[in-house]
Every structure is written in C-alpha cells, then in structure tokens.
Structure 1
Amino acid sequence: MTEIHDLTALEQYRLLQKGELRVTEVVEHYLERIERLNPELGAFHTVTPDAARARAADVETSVPRTAALWGLAYADKDLVRRAGVRTTFGSRLFAEFVPDESDELPLLLDQAGAISLGKTATPEFGLPSYTENLVAPPARDPYDLTRGAGGSSGGAAVAVAAGMLPFAPGSDGGGSIRIPAAACGLVGLKPSRGLVPAGSGQDSLAGLPVAGPLARTVGDAALLLDGMIARRGDRILHHHTLRAPSDGGQFLAAAVRGEGRFQIGVTTGSPWETAYDITLAPEARDALDAARDALVALGHGMEEFTLEPAPQYAEAFRVIWQVGASQIPVDDEGEDLLEPLTRWLVHEGRSIPASELARALATLSAYERSIIRQFDGYDAVLMPTLAMTPRPLGWYDQEDGDRNFAQQVQYTPFTSFVNVAGLPAITLPVHRTVEGLPMGAQLIGRPGGEATLLALGRQLERRVRWDRVHPAQW
C-alpha cells in the first residue's frame, strides 16, 4: 500500500486539491514519522506539533486552495527565525533563543499555504559544510548512519531523504544546498542570485547565500521554488534586480515538460586547485561519467573544457568566510559557548583590515565575470558536486581551523565558485556506489537559467529513475 510519504509533493498537492487527502491527515502522518525517526537521524533541532496541527486546521478552512503550496508540509532551516519558535542557529550561544518576529521566507511560505513542522538541523551559524554541532545530535546520512549528511542544510536533506518531509527549503552560501542533497541522494537547486526575494544574496557579504529547495524529484524542487517566490494575487512582489517569472508555476512547467536539446560543457576544474591538493575520488568520477553518458544518449551536445587558473581565489574566499563569521554577535564572555572552529573564524575575521576585505571583494567580483565569460558558450556546465563520498561523522578536525578549512575544500571544491558567480546550479542523484551511497553531479546554468536546469534534470530523472530509490530502512 502506498503511504503518504511515498508520494511526491506534487502528487500530494494534487490529491489535496481533489479532496482525496486532508491537510490534517498529511501533517499527522509526517509528525508521526518525525517522532519515530528523528532520534536516530538528527534531522530536526525543534519539532512544533501543536503549532503544526493548529496551522493545518487553519489552512483547511481559511487559506484559498489556489495557494501555490496549499496543504503541504515542510520545515524551516534553523538559521531562519520564526516568531515564537526556538531558533538556535546551530549554536549553544542561542540554544534557548525564541524570536518575537519571523524572517521573510517563513512568512512567504505561510502565504503559499504550506505548514511548517519545526526547525531542521544546521551547523553552527551555517558556516561548515557538515551538520555536526554541540546543540543537538549530528544529522546522519539515511543511507549510512556512520556518515554525515553534509551541510549546512543537512537536517533538511535528511528529513526529505528519510520521508519525514516531502521537500524542504535550504540556503546555499558555498554549496549548502547542493552538498547535503548530493550526500543524501536528493535534488538540490541553488537559484540565481536575486531570484528568490526572501533569500536573494543581494544583501549579504559578497552576495553568496541564496535560498532554494531540496526534494526527491525535479518536479518537487520546481514546485517549492515557485512557492518561494512572493506573490499576492496575480502580482509578483520582487525587490531585487533579477525579476521573478511573471506567471506562476513557470519552473514547475519546465520541470514537468523536460524538453529541449542543449549544448553542455563538462569540466573537473576548480578554482581551489592552485592552493590545495584536489583529488577526485573514483566514486565522484563515476557519478560525473554517468551523468555525461546519459546526457549524450539523450542527444545533448557535450564538450570538455578546462577552467582557467585562479590563483587569487582561495585567499579571497577565505577572507570572506572569516569576515562573515566576525559579524556573529558574541562578546568575550559568550565566546566559550562557541565551537572551536567558529571561535577561530571570529578571531581571524575581526583581525582582517578593511583594505584586505576590499581586495577580496574585488577579486571575487572579477572572478564572477571570468566564470560567466568561460561558461558563455554553453547552455549548462556539468561538474561533480562532491570530490569524495559522504564523510564519516567526526572526520573534520574540530580544533585546527586551517586544517578544517582544507578538509572542507577537498570534500567540496566545486560548489563555492558558483555562489561567487551568482549562477544557478542543480545537483542530481545520478549514481550509487557499490556500498549504496548516493553520489551526485551538478549542472550549472546561465544567469536566470533555472528553467534549462530543471528541463535537463527532468530528462535525466526519466532515464536514471532516482525518484524510485529511497533509503531502504526508512
């Protein structure tokens, strides 16, 4: 018998629209699964069953069924404030913090008719690419509980992969959607800078972090992305330069149709390779080859190319990472509550002079232009998402900041530059290792090229059928 969590978000939405599923029924089903599975998997920092039930009843009676995500369950990442709900930012410094006001994204998802079930796990302030902190148990990969889920949207990825949610929003400042999606066998979409109003990247240092969806299918990712774009009636609200599509459901339409033939570049280059030893594991190569071969078989043009060296990139990005951490509101008295890596980042960031920050920003701005020029001849560029298989829990050095940084670069050297360039990218679960671990490959698009990525993703999904693969024990 098919259970609710076996259905895609889109299938659930259609059944809800027809009245064959009730909103309260969907919410109760997922709350039961969270209660049963979360203690072992660590997907949630906070679960809000009473608020979710009240919200579900309100949606059934008071929210128009035309809302983009009507009746669907999700959860907020624990970097996002929701009024009245504990928001830890993955840190002991805010372990009991309950905000009075909500950030914009939860309000927009409420407006779209969705129901939040709580807060998904994230590392401290979302800084590392793994979800292990001192506030809660680590987020474990549902395919192998000895391995981490990646980060920083690790809890969201675990919840979706294990059927505790149909989909979930995440944020991506250097790979934080794509990394855990790849580790947990999901579709993860990082939108173009400026597309999603509530997580545009426009108001952050170097414009890196954007909000985007994690889902089991390309269609579900598109459905959530459409719901993350603000609408009131027929009018789209957008306060940044990259306009949202003028008609609702444009991304879902592209994902459902999955049409077109495209010219694709493929490379394993990384801007980190002039500063770090970057090695592509056989499993990562297999995933890339699987995606390339499938795309060629589907009739797309394929051309290998080499990225130009970028000797200044590594130091510039490191400066931005450190200066970003320096803005954490902590004084000497509260420092003991920070984890060693965060404490190191804060100290390093606060010692960087303004002139060095200005040089780093100029370097990354020049690199953005360079990447867009190098990618200009292709509709999309195919690359690995990760350089290694999902990392064992405890693999990262928690005391030596320099070594920790190097480990993160070596695990995921292909993601951060996409944020620097402001480009859209989608990771797709195209491969399984002999041990059954997921491995993804990513497609990077032109500015505003999400529809092309979704069309390509859907074509691959029809061929590879990852939508039928779920962690067996859950």
Structure 2
Amino acid sequence: MDAGAGPATPPPVARGDAGVVGLTATELAARVRSGGVSAVEVVRAHLRHLAAVESRVGAFRVVRTDAALAEAAAVDASPRRSGLPLAGVPIAVKDNVAVAGEVATDGSSAHAPLPATADHPVVARLRAAGAVVVGITRVPELCVFAATDAPGTVTRNPWDTARSPAGSSGGSAAAVAAGVVPLAQGNDGMGSLRLPAAACGLVTLKPGTGVVPAGIGADSWSGMAENGVLATTVADLALGSAVLAGVSPEPPAPPVGPLRIAVSTRSPVPGVRLDPAGRAAVDAVVAELRAAGHSVVHRDPVVTPAAALGTVARWLAGADADAEALGLDRRSLEPRNRRHAALGRWVRRGGFDRPQPALRARATAFFDDVDVLVTPVTAGPPLPARPWHERGWLANVGANARWAPWTAAWNGAGLPALVLPAGPGRAGLPTAVQLVGPPGAETRLLWLAGELERRLPWRRYAPVLDPRAGPG
C-alpha cells in the first residue's frame, strides 16, 4: 500500500469500535449532525477497523489517515454540520477520479501522474455533503476487466478471500463489504459497479446518461461510463446517489399503482447459461414481486449483434483513449491491456466508437409497456482471486464474458440499472439480481429495490469480516 498520507494507520482494536463501525451512512450522519458522536470519533474508529482487515482484503492503494482525521475535524467545527446529509461519513474513492492532493493512477504503473489540484465533481459533492475520504481504492489497470489485481497485489472478496470482489470498482466494493466504510464511490462502464456489488453482496445504481457528472478518463468510454456509489442498504444508496446527482436527498416516491415487470434470464452471450443459484435468486424476486401485487411477464430484450459489437468497440476504444490522455508508456502496460488498447486504436481510427442511438432507441422502446426489467447479473460465483494480469487478453475477455453477460448492454444504451442482493447465495457467497428501467427511472428502481429489501432482507456485511460481530 502506498504511504499516501503520513504516519502508519492506527493499531487495530476490537471490531464494533466506538459503537459506530457497522452503522449505515444514514445512521452515522444522523448521529454526527445531532452531536451524539463526533466525526473524528467516527473516522478514527473506521480507520482502526481498516487496519484490522486490510491485510486480508487489499482494498486500498492509499489510506489517508492524517488527511481524513483533519477533514473530520473540519466537519465537527462546521457551522453547517447540522444540515450535512453525509456529516462525518467515511467514504472511499476509486482510483480513477480526482481527489485533491492525491494521485489517481487508473491502476497503472506505466506513468507518473501528479497529485490532483482539485476534486472531481462527484468527490466535491460528497465532501460538500460532509463525507470524509479515508482512502483511494484499488482498480485493475485502466479499469478494463472484471477482477481487481495488479503486479504484487490481488484484491480479495471479504465473503471468500479465494474469490475476487470483481472489478473494476473491486476495491471500493471490498471496502464496503468488509465494513471499512459504509459508502464508496465507483463507476461503471460495462458493469464495473454492478458486478462488484453482485460479488460482494451490496446494492448499487448505475444512473442513466446525464444524471450524475461523469468525466471519467478521456471521454467516459465514449459516454458509456457513469459514476455511482456502493452501499449496504437502499436508503444509503438513495442518499449517496442523490448527493452525486446534486439533488435533495428524499425517500424514493412510490409509483402510482402496481408495476408491470418483465423478467428475462436469457444470456446475451450465446452459450452462457445461468447457474441454479442465479436462477433461484431471480425466482425468489419474482415470487415477492407477485406477492406484492405487481404484474410479471417473461420477455427478452433484443440485443442485436451490431449493438453488441458497438458496445465492445467503445470498450476497446475507451482503453486506448485513456492511455493516450494519461500519457501512458504503452510498452509498460500489462500485456492484456497493451493488446486491448491496440485494438482500441484501430476502432478509433475507423470511427467505430460512436454512441449507439439505435441501441438506445430499441432499449427504450422495450419499456413502452413494461416499467422495469429483472435479469440476473452473473452466471456463477465470482472469478478466483488470482493475478489475472499475468494471463493473456483472450483468457481475460473469455472469463469476463462467460461470467458477466447481463450488464454491458445498459451502458451502451445509457439506461439506469440497479443491482441488489437476493436469493439463497452460492456456497457462502451472495447472489444478486439486476433491475433495469427506461431513461429517468432511477427513482422507480430505488423504490422497488427498497420494497424488495423489506421483503427479502440481506446480510449487510461478509460474515468473516463483519464489523459488528465482535473481536476475532
């Protein structure tokens, strides 16, 4: 881990430190606003828990010990404290957006970037709401693939450290699932929020185009990538998403009358089949939706070969554009990403990385007579935690496509998509489902996720690293 922020992290103490580690962001902020606990106490306790679990998880590239405590003290002293929606809440930020005074590497050692002089807009909004940045989380190089590893480090899933927390927001997801922070920023260009949420038993929302400031890399992967947050509850997700969107945090309003909900389990990638645990998760959600009075129909969205190829083209081009914008030494890139960026350069030269209005129109039309689409997220358990960067491009692409075929189309279309835990799990690991809606359906998805959370509550933290389970 980079030193990043002064002296060593405080020594580990018993989990549940100060009675605040393990509380939700909503609960923590309420206590800090009322003066029941100080932001400094909250942040110090979470830094201690971080020290206790980080060696097993490897979620952070930088821990900002002194800077975070100073930011917490500023929250305590602020005359605005009583009105801050995230007062004193410790958060983590993904290593591809700017945090003032810190270096954003995009997971690559092929350059030597300077510290940022200003926060990215989403970081500025989180801080203005009272959140405290305790660290910068790990990502795979250029945020390209669905496991988080790099030379000398493999980030691990708190539910099972032999498994990956997925990627590319894997470090952020691992930090939340381990109880180190109740809320973490990430972003999603082909599923990079939703896949880690599914792997780590969290809830997240990839907003639709234009809802939250993007500004990720050179061009947000030709407009496919969006910023969001990872959380353990729908209330925290709604709060964090509102802050990022720059709107007043309000409970999601219920729809007028029951919803008409489509369900599809067919994989967009030919030959990929959903495992029994994933099917059981979808079935459990469908049963609860029907019990709640919603209408459920089975209908598969159409993702044409041209649309799929267009999305892949933008993924390839995004890596090349980011490598160019960051001034990376391409000879020093990981071999898989050197190949990926080289293919992306060909795509860009051919002009194949344009937005996909036909895909967006077709995807939007799917919702002409349904309100929400329910799909699986992954075909099976998370990928093994291993140095995937040592394997070739085809091995990485093949593993990603077989494991996670259900997320990328909604990036290409620019539609909102939410992932939440559901179902019986996979041998101690979580299972999840995805909710997709038309443009502007973020509130609808959050409301429905909240209804499912009440009917199918999930365990908020990985059992082996549960910060509320006591010492050990």
Q: Are 1:126 and 2:124 matched, yes or no? A: no
Which residue does the alignment assign to 1:438?
A: 430
Please report how far the alpha carbon of residue 144 of structure 1 lies from its aligned counterpart in structure 2 after TM superposition: 0.5
Please list every run of 5 or more consecutive structure 2 residues that lacks an aligned counterpart in the other structure. 1-15, 467-472
Question: How many residues are matched?
Answer: 448
Alpha-carbon distance in structure 1 between the residues aligned to 2:326 and 2:370: 48
1:218-297 residue pairs with structure 2 within 5 A?
218-230=234-246, 248-250=248-250, 253-254=251-252, 261-273=258-270, 277-297=271-291
CA contact (8 A) 2:308 2:409 kept: no
- Cα distance change of structure 1 residues 15 and 101 upon mapping to structure 2, 3 Å threshold: closer
Deviation by residue 1:300-339 (Cα, 9 ceiling, x = unmatched): 1100012335122332222212211112138999234211
Range with bigger deviation, 176-185 or 110-119:
110-119
Secondary structure at 1:443 match in 2: strand
Secondary structure at 2:161 match in 1: strand
Q: 1:159 aligns with which of 172, 175, 178?
A: 175
Q: Are 1:67 and 2:84 matched, yes or no? A: yes
Deviation by residue 1:41-61 (Cα, 9 ceiling, x = unmatched): 011110010000111111111
Alpha-carbon distance in structure 2 between the residues aligned to 1:309 and 1:192: 18
Which residue does the alignment assign to 2:4?
A: none
Q: 1:27 aligns with which of 33, 38, 43?
A: 43
Secondary structure at 2:422 match in 1: strand
Alpha-carbon distance in structure 2 between the residues aligned to 1:165 and 1:118: 10
Which letter maps to 1:361? R
- Cα distance change of structure 1 residues 468 and 436 upon mapping to structure 2, 3 Å threshold: same
Secondary structure at 2:192 match in 1: coil
Q: 2:456 aligns with which of 460, 464, 468?
A: 464
Q: 1:216 aligns with which of 221, 225, 232?
A: 232
Alpha-carbon distance in structure 2 between the residues aligned to 1:352 and 1:199: 21
Secondary structure at 1:165 match in 2: coil
Give me the TM-score of the superposition, normalised by structure 2.
0.89
Alpha-carbon distance in structure 1 between the residues aligned to 2:325 and 2:417: 34
Which residue does the alignment assign to 2:13?
A: none
Alpha-carbon distance in structure 1 between the residues aligned to 2:463 and 2:294: 31
Which residue does the alignment assign to 2:334?
A: 339
Please report how far the alpha carbon of residue 353 of structure 1 lies from its aligned counterpart in structure 2 after TM superposition: 5.7
Alpha-carbon distance in structure 2 between the residues aligned to 1:73 and 1:353: 39
- Cα distance change of structure 1 residues 200 and 314 upon mapping to structure 2, 3 Å threshold: same
Q: RMSD of the alignment, in Å? A: 2.5
Alpha-carbon distance in structure 1 between the residues aligned to 2:273 and 2:283: 16
Which residue does the alignment assign to 1:453?
A: 445
Please report how far the alpha carbon of residue 261 of structure 1 lies from its aligned counterpart in structure 2 after TM superposition: 2.6
Alpha-carbon distance in structure 2 between the residues aligned to 1:124 and 1:260: 46
Which residue does the alignment assign to 1:104?
A: 121
Please report how far the alpha carbon of residue 165 of structure 1 lies from its aligned counterpart in structure 2 after TM superposition: 0.1
Which letter maps to 2:249? G
Alpha-carbon distance in structure 2 between the residues aligned to 1:95 and 1:202: 17
1:12-411 residue pairs with structure 2 within 5 A?
12-62=28-78, 64-65=80-81, 66-94=83-111, 97-134=114-151, 137-198=153-214, 204-230=220-246, 248-250=248-250, 253-254=251-252, 261-273=258-270, 277-308=271-302, 310-327=304-321, 328-329=323-324, 334-352=329-347, 354-357=349-352, 361=354, 364-394=356-386, 396=388, 398-411=390-403
Deviation by residue 1:355-409 (Cα, 9 ceiling, x = unmatched): 451xx536x3211111111232111100001112111123857443233212211
Which letter maps to 1:156? S
Secondary structure at 1:352 match in 2: helix
Please report how far the alpha carbon of residue 297 of structure 1 lies from its aligned counterpart in structure 2 after TM superposition: 1.6
Q: 2:25 aligns with which of 2, 6, 9?
A: 9
Secondary structure at 1:57 match in 2: helix
Which letter maps to 1:249? P
CA contact (8 A) 2:220 2:226 kept: no
Alpha-carbon distance in structure 2 between the residues aligned to 1:140 and 1:346: 26
- Cα distance change of structure 1 residues 395 and 374 upon mapping to structure 2, 3 Å threshold: farther
CA contact (8 A) 1:23 1:71 kept: yes
Alpha-carbon distance in structure 1 between the residues aligned to 2:191 and 2:426: 25
Which letter maps to 1:400? G
1:405-424 residue pairs with structure 2 within 5 A?
405-424=397-416
CA contact (8 A) 2:155 2:385 kept: no
- Cα distance change of structure 1 residues 36 and 91 upon mapping to structure 2, 3 Å threshold: same
Deviation by residue 1:241-263 (Cα, 9 ceiling, x = unmatched): xxxx5xx113xx117x7996311
Which letter maps to 1:69? L
Which letter maps to 1:206? S
Q: Report % sequence identity.
A: 36
Which letter maps to 2:296? M
Deviation by residue 1:90-131 (Cα, 9 ceiling, x = unmatched): 111246743333322222211111110010111112111211
Please report how far the alpha carbon of residue 5 of structure 1 lies from its aligned counterpart in structure 2 after TM superposition: 2.1
Alpha-carbon distance in structure 2 between the residues aligned to 1:329 and 1:90: 15
Alpha-carbon distance in structure 2 between the residues aligned to 1:182 and 1:220: 17
CA contact (8 A) 1:182 1:439 kept: yes
- Cα distance change of structure 1 residues 460 and 331 upon mapping to structure 2, 3 Å threshold: closer
Range with bigger deviation, 38-47 or 65-74:
65-74
Please report how far the alpha carbon of residue 76 of structure 1 lies from its aligned counterpart in structure 2 after TM superposition: 1.1
Which letter maps to 2:264? T
Secondary structure at 1:320 match in 2: helix
Which letter maps to 2:349? A
Secondary structure at 1:197 match in 2: coil
Alpha-carbon distance in structure 1 between the residues aligned to 2:217 and 2:320: 18
- Cα distance change of structure 1 residues 458 and 289 upon mapping to structure 2, 3 Å threshold: same
